[in-house]
Structure 1
Amino acid sequence: KLPGTTKVIEQAKNGNDVVLTLDSSLQSTVESQLQATMENENAKSAWCIVMEVETGKVLAWASYPTFDQNEHKEIPSYQDAISTSTYEPGSVMKPFTYAIAMDTNVYPYNQTFSSYQFWYNYDPNTAKISRVAIGTKTPYPYIADALDEDFGTITFDQGLAFSSNVGICELLANYVNYSQYCDYLDKFGFFQKVNTPYVAQSLGVKNVGLPTDYLSTGFGQASSITVLQLCQAYTSIFNDGTMMRPYVIDSIVDSDTKQTVKKYKKKAVGTPISSQSAKEVQELMSHVTDEGASGHRFKMDGIDLLMKTGTAQIYNENLGKYDPAYHTSSVMAAAPANDPKVMVYYGLVSTNITSYSAEPFKKIMRDTLQTYGVSTTPTTQTQDTYEKWESYSMPSLVNHTIDYAHEKMKDKKVHFEVIGDGTSVVGQYPDANITINSNDRIFVLTNGSKITMPNMTGWTRKDITVFWQLTGIGIKTSGYGKVTSQNVEEGTTISTDTKIEVTLE
């Protein structure tokens, strides 16, 4: 104490208690599975976040490498992989490109594209990207699917199931408007801080100025984001268009009086897409776990999932190019598929990009559903479903007999719908030579004068639209998903005057 100064003693006060939204059991599961991932996959980093879809409440949050807080002599990284580390996410960005195309009414339903190598040129006068013949010399590098895969001529719906980069390029070059695309990225909250209280965050970089970067952003390269931004944006798809803010603090409580000082609740932060667009993207994501699709190995017995997988290159600053060895791999999923309640995003950075174990993700998802009592019973199907994914070329059936049509379709694992009581085919869907897959619904219209009401249970909106277009018989729909009931009994004779109503769930 210096002469002439005053000694002031202030007693310490207890701080407030912070109550987190985390579920201790799920957090333990996530921690153990990420530790196993680090050890078994030779991973540089790994992360996982589990959230409630309808509220944004974070149920588990972990980022590796980590450290023992009791012995933190050496901290391997000060970056949290979920909120402060930015990355190029890869193909988990593709559903947003699809959502934008659908929401702006330019999505090419039922149309096809060639999936092998997207060679292109750019006209600065028209700001138009044009696909050119393979091998054409242009200033721009061609874009291919992973491992230079060739899926042949496929529909855009199939493009998401197969995770086709070329399909994304086709959408962005020929259908989606550039300015609208950029605006929607902002609406989804990318490259902006997520309003999660008390969480340090980074922004990422929107890099869409050059043609190559614009196309690459559509499939998750070139532009960088955070995991937290991605999860917030996905709530808009899983939550029927309404985007929810992720939050990890439930409340702040006075440690002495036990009174709640501050309470945090769910908060909607926008509706970037319509409910219908969200439902349509959900329908496409439900097929990512089909046999032959990109996420089949993550399929879980007794659980219907909405899913998108992602693999991304990582820019290596020391090499001045993308790292030839390490990649980001991740899985975004929500369940149950017919009414998403919880979502899990699991990812890692390692050299093992094609065969890393699916078991950590499955364990986390299974424990999440069991903890929260979410039903794991798949949606009831009224028709057989075929597990194995097979593709076929649609035969030409028009002007042939119905017996001929049955013969041509009998070896194909599809749902074959015959409209009318005629003996010859006068219309078909899809058209001849279009690629079709297992479980697709195929329609033929005959020359008969009598049309009877089919059993539409399990039909999608697309199926209903096709029936309407072929017959001219209007159908009133309510809800989203698949048909669960109809007001006209199966087998009833119907015409353009029949008032048909169906309910989808």
Structure 2
Amino acid sequence: GVYNPNELYESGSYKYGKTVFNDYNITGWGTIPMVEGVWHSSNVAFSILANERLGLSRYEDYFKAFKFDQRTGIDLPGEVNSQFDFESPMNVLITAWGQSTAVTPMQILQATSAIATDGTMKQPHLIKKIVNSETGETIRTTNPKEVGQPITAETAKKTREALDGVVNSDVGTGQLYALDNYRVVGKTGTAQIAENGKYLSGQYIHSFVGMAPEDDPELVMYIAVDRPNSDSSTTGPRIMAPLFKDVMDVALRYRSVEPEKQEKAVEASTKTTSSYIGQNREEAVNASTENSFNPIVLGDGDEVIAQSPVKGQSYVVGERLLLKTSESFTMPTLKGW
């Protein structure tokens, strides 16, 4: 209830005690609305929100309400917890714009699930269900439980509206992540890395968490790259964006989500995989191509002995079909996959 997207503030620098924090471009963008500060990923905007509008004590309450202080309990061994130090108010403030803390991708995805829905957080899992491939019988189904309601549905909607401009405005830091056929909203992250008490120069962890479609998100995706090279400020996003876009676009089509805007026709429906085992190479390639697959032949054998996806699995138009023709084969080049 304290965030006003149209509230004006002076970007560039923010003084807390004797310490001055700067926006990443040092001088800022002049006097701008708070929502534009979100689009620019302004440290000053988030400092004002956390310290002056929300208050650091209430900010801590939200940090814990989003369960950033505990493991998610995902079905993976060895899950670690976050690292943070709220003994110092300074650290609490810095945490508001993404530093002085370390959280896991699973914690971020769990928290983001509240923003993507009506404010309800769902516990993440790896496996949706286990099915007997011979009988089709479902052996086990995972029903993700609700683990909290840190915000209201109204707040979740307002947050998505603010994140829309990160990707879809002409000043947003996430413009590279926009899709042609679905409206993505999300938030970029650029975190400095501390070593021996000092920040490394020019070295960052870049990240992006995005969700789509904007009006009623079905999927949330998190992607990060750690110190891609000495000029990571530009190469990080350029490495991540194509991966994010390819995976998110195919995943949305796989779920038969209707495209929101189309510059070219997109087949959004799923198809069911046939068996190509026992066919010769040429027959399998021709038949799978006719069924809208992109066939990849593995090995130099004359006959298909295994395939992926397997018979009965769903696939979307243009998906790759691996056709194995011999037990040993040369690893295909994965560039562009």
**TM-score of the superposed pair, with normalisation by structure 1:** 0.48
Alpha-carbon deviation of 1:182? 1.0
Structure-1 separation of matches of 2:22 and 2:213: 33
Answering whether residue 204 of structure 2 is matched by residue 308 of structure 1, we say no
Q: Which residue of 1 aligns with 2:222?
A: 345
Structure-1 separation of matches of 2:99 and 2:46: 12
Answering whether residue 12 of structure 2 is matched by residue 108 of structure 1, we say no
Alpha-carbon deviation of 1:371? 1.7
SS in structure 1 of the partner of residue 58 of structure 2:
helix
Q: Which residue of 2 aligns with 1:205?
A: 83
Structure-2 separation of matches of 1:330 and 1:282: 18
Q: Which residue of 1 aligns with 2:33?
A: 155
Question: Is residue 144–residue 165 contact of structure 1 (8 Å, CA) maintained in 2?
Answer: yes
Structure-1 separation of matches of 2:233 and 2:259: 29
Answering whether residue 259 of structure 2 is matched by residue 376 of structure 1, we say yes
Structure-1 separation of matches of 2:178 and 2:139: 44
Q: Which residue of 2 aligns with 1:299?
A: 178
Greater relative contact order: 1 or 2 (C-alpha under 8 angstroms, separation 6 or more)?
1
Structure-1 separation of matches of 2:180 and 2:136: 45
Structure-2 separation of matches of 1:189 and 1:111: 29
Question: Is residue 208–residue 217 contact of structure 1 (8 Å, CA) maintained in 2?
Answer: no
Change (3 A) 1:211 1:301: same
- For 1:369, the aligned partner's letter is L
Q: Which residue of 2 aligns with 1:225?
A: 103
Change (3 A) 1:199 1:373: farther
Alpha-carbon deviation of 1:237? 0.2
Answering whether residue 239 of structure 2 is matched by residue 362 of structure 1, we say no
Structure-2 separation of matches of 1:266 and 1:324: 41
Alpha-carbon deviation of 1:198? 3.7
Change (3 A) 1:370 1:109: closer
Alpha-carbon deviation of 1:199? 3.8
Question: Is residue 303–residue 335 contact of structure 1 (8 Å, CA) maintained in 2?
Answer: yes
Q: Deviations over 1:239-281 (max 9, x none)?
A: 1201111111234678999976643112211111000000000
Change (3 A) 1:258 1:111: closer
Alignment of 1:24-35 (within 5 A): none
Structure-2 separation of matches of 1:301 and 1:256: 39
Q: Which residue of 1 aligns with 2:57?
A: 179
Alignment partner of 2:21 out of 109, 120, 143: 143
Change (3 A) 1:364 1:252: closer
Question: Is residue 191–residue 204 contact of structure 2 (8 Å, CA) maintained in 1?
Answer: yes
Structure-1 separation of matches of 2:131 and 2:209: 34
CA RMSD of superposed structures (Å): 2.3
Q: For structure 2, which runs of at least 5 residues remain unmatched after alignment?
A: 263-337
SS in structure 1 of the partner of residue 166 of structure 2:
coil
Q: Which residue of 2 aligns with 1:195?
A: 73
Percent of aligned pairs sharing the same letter: 30
Structure-1 separation of matches of 2:15 and 2:126: 45
The structure that is helix-richer by fraction is 2
Alpha-carbon deviation of 1:300? 2.2
Q: Which residue of 1 aligns with 2:297?
A: none
Structure-2 separation of matches of 1:204 and 1:271: 20
SS in structure 1 of the partner of residue 102 of structure 2:
coil
- For 2:149, the aligned partner's letter is T
SS in structure 2 of the partner of residue 220 of structure 1:
coil
Answering whether residue 114 of structure 2 is matched by residue 236 of structure 1, we say yes
Alignment of 1:248-259 (within 5 A): 248-251=126-129
Question: Is residue 190–residue 205 contact of structure 2 (8 Å, CA) maintained in 1?
Answer: yes
Structure-2 separation of matches of 1:377 and 1:291: 20
Alpha-carbon deviation of 1:367? 1.5
Range with greater deviation from structure 2 (218-227 or 208-217): 208-217
- For 2:12, the aligned partner's letter is Y
4+ runs of 1 displaced by more than 6 Å?
A: 253-259
Structure-2 separation of matches of 1:143 and 1:306: 27
- For 1:373, the aligned partner's letter is S
Alpha-carbon deviation of 1:332? 0.9
Q: Which residue of 2 aligns with 1:51?
A: none
Change (3 A) 1:193 1:301: same
Question: Is residue 336–residue 375 contact of structure 1 (8 Å, CA) maintained in 2?
Answer: no
Question: Is residue 243–residue 269 contact of structure 1 (8 Å, CA) maintained in 2?
Answer: yes
Q: Which residue of 1 aligns with 2:124?
A: 246
Alpha-carbon deviation of 1:148? 1.7
Change (3 A) 1:159 1:365: same
Answering whether residue 152 of structure 2 is matched by residue 274 of structure 1, we say yes
Change (3 A) 1:266 1:120: closer
Question: Is residue 56–residue 93 contact of structure 2 (8 Å, CA) maintained in 1?
Answer: no
Change (3 A) 1:261 1:164: same
Change (3 A) 1:260 1:293: closer
Alpha-carbon deviation of 1:369? 1.6
- For 2:24, the aligned partner's letter is A
Alpha-carbon deviation of 1:229? 0.4
Q: Which residue of 1 aligns with 2:210?
A: 333
Q: Which residue of 1 aligns with 2:321?
A: none
**TM-score of the superposed pair, with normalisation by structure 2:** 0.70
Q: Which residue of 1 aligns with 2:272?
A: none
- For 1:332, the aligned partner's letter is V
Structure-2 separation of matches of 1:148 and 1:224: 24
Alpha-carbon deviation of 1:206? 2.6
Aligned length: 255
